Amino acid sequence: MAPPTELPARPERGSAPGFRAMGRLVAVGLLGIALALLGERLLALRNRLKASREVESIDLPNCHLIKGIAFVFNIFHCFGKGLKFPGLHSFAPDKPGGILMMDLKEEKPRARELRISRGFDLASFNPHGISTFIDNDDTVYLFVVNHPEFKNTVEIFKFEEAENSLLHLKTVKHELLPSVNDITAVGPAHFYATNDHYFSDPFLKYLETYLNLHWANVVYYSPNEVKVVAEGFDSANGINISPDNKYIYVADILAHEIHVLEKHPNMNLTQLKVLELDTLVDNLSIDPSSGDIWVGCHPNGQKLFVYDPNNPPSSEVLRIQNILSEKPTVTTVYANNGSVLQGSSVASVYDGKLLIGTLYHRALYCEL
């Protein structure tokens, strides 16, 4: 029998010059696709942040600044101070937050800090969104979004007017509230809340925003039921309720939109319309007498996250009338390039008086 013929050794795929060249081409192609996607997402984010927008000032007469006050108001003109938030500048990073109240019926109103009952952890108090509910017996409940050590809770207080103090009643935590931004109370322990992100982890939040996933939502909470009632937002932010309690308004800050949602007896929400705007809409306040929506806005969101004292974030206040109509009236009531007021986040009106709050700066009080 003839000896078996030895076949020539087969070259390894990875060692052949042609295969190596093809592998490099594939790698370069994948890198190019990744860089193109990265650039497209970065450009899209800049557009969502209105990074190149500037505003011309629209001043109001009879205004003065109120130092040391920032952030959210409600119809009782209670507001938080000292918000610390990842990625945002802070003028007092080591000071705990607090709740202040301002009586706009006074001839010269001034802010007074409310005492909070013992047993509540004031050292880590980091207030964000605020809302109130008045029960049938005239008891006033104050709901505060809190970020102790950058976690997410909702604190429920009872307002004790005689002592100008807050009695802490309850801390709410829930897996459906991973990134709470704002809140509107609809009962003594019942509320709607916005999650500005789906995730709670900071890195995943940044990734979610960068990829524009639209996973933010609105949650209804009660002691007996917690559920998602609206979703698909870019970054759900401010939330409020109409004076007749029929509609919920939600600001989608990075989509530059206000959503009008109809509230049903089972507390579910269905979308009626979306109002598109040319600014980053933050928090919403409702004029109880007219139903007008007052909005604190950020004309240029990039300046919020990349703080430059020589080019500070600007401010803008919009008034929206007849939002349920086919053509709501949108009026710019106030605008400033940051020389007076930086980072306006909310505006609240009462009897011809306007109070504008900010993310981390001062507040501005004006007579309209």
Per cent of the chain over pLDDT 70 is 83
**Residue that wins the pLDDT comparison between 33 and 312:** 312
Active site residue 361: no
Residue 104: count of CB within 10 angstroms of its CB: 16
Q: Considering 128, 197, 256, 361, which one is annotated as catalytic?
A: 128
Q: Is 244 annotated as a binding residue?
A: no
The first and second tokens of residue 109, run together, are: 């109103």
In a domain, 14, yes or no: no
CB neighbour list of residue 101: distance below 8 Å, 6 or more residues apart: 76, 77, 78, 79, 111, 112, 114, 164
- What total of structural domains would you count in the chain? 1
Answer whether residue 2 is part of any domain: no
Instruction: Residue 144: give the domain boundaries.
Output: 42-367
The reply to whether 94 sits in an annotated binding site is no
CB 368 within 8 A of CB 353: yes
SS3 string, 340-366, reads CCCCEEEEEEECCEEEEEECCCCEEEE
Dist. CA 247–CA 264, nearest whole Å? 9
List the one residue out of 61, 87, 77, 65 whose CA is nearest residue 341.
65
DSSP-assigned letters across all residues of 1-52: -PPPPPPPPPPPGGGSHHHHHHHHHHHHHHHHHHHHHHHHHHHHHHHHTTTT
282 known member of a binding site: yes
For residue range 95-112, list pLDDT tens digits in order.
Answer: 677 888 777 677 777 777
Q: Is residue 71 part of a domain?
A: yes
Least confident range from 40-49, 72-81, 351-360: namely 72-81
Beta strand 165-172 with 153-160: parallel, antiparallel or unpaired?
antiparallel
pLDDT number for residue 10: 53
Q: What is the mean pLDDT of residues 262-274?
A: 98
Q: Lowest-confidence range among 26-30, 90-94, 160-164?
A: 90-94
Alpha-carbon gap, residue 263 to 246, rounded angstroms: 5
What's the pTM value of the predicted model, to 2 decimals?
Answer: 0.86
Is 130 annotated as belonging to a binding site?
yes
In a domain, 215, yes or no: yes
Would you give the DSSP letter of residue 30? H
Q: For the residues 144-168, what does the mean pLDDT come to?
A: 92
How far is residue 156 CA from its own chain's centroid? 20
Identify the band that residue 70 occupies on the pLDDT scale cut at 50, 70 and 90: very low
Average pLDDT, the chain: 86
What's the token pair of residue 208? 């979610």
Q: Are 91 and 361 in contact (CB under 8 A)?
A: yes
Residue 9, domain member (yes or no)? no
What is the maximum alpha-carbon separation in the chain? 118
The verdict on whether residue 138 carries a ligand-binding annotation is: no
b/e code 220-236 from CB counts within 10 Å (16+ = b) = bbeeeeeeebbeebbbb
At which residue do the structure tokens 């006033």 appear?
A: 140
Please say whether the beta carbons of 178 and 199 come within 8 A: yes
Residue 4 lies in a domain: no
Q: Do residues 97 and 153 make contact, with C-beta atoms less than 8 angstroms apart?
A: no
Q: What is the pLDDT of residue 197?
A: 96
User: With bands split at pLDDT 50, 70 and 90, how would you rate the model's confidence at 60?
Assistant: very high
Average pLDDT over residues 206-235: 96
The DSSP annotation for 149-190 comes to: GG--EEEEEEEEGGGTEEEEEEEE--TT-SSEEEEEEEETTE
Say if 30 falls within a structural domain.
no
Q: Is the predicted pLDDT of residue 337 greater than 90, yes or no?
A: yes
State the CATH number of the domain containing residue 243: 2.120.10.30
Token digits of residue 60: 């109001």
For 304, the token pair is 């919020």
% the chain with pLDDT above 90: 60
User: Within a domain: residue 29?
Assistant: no
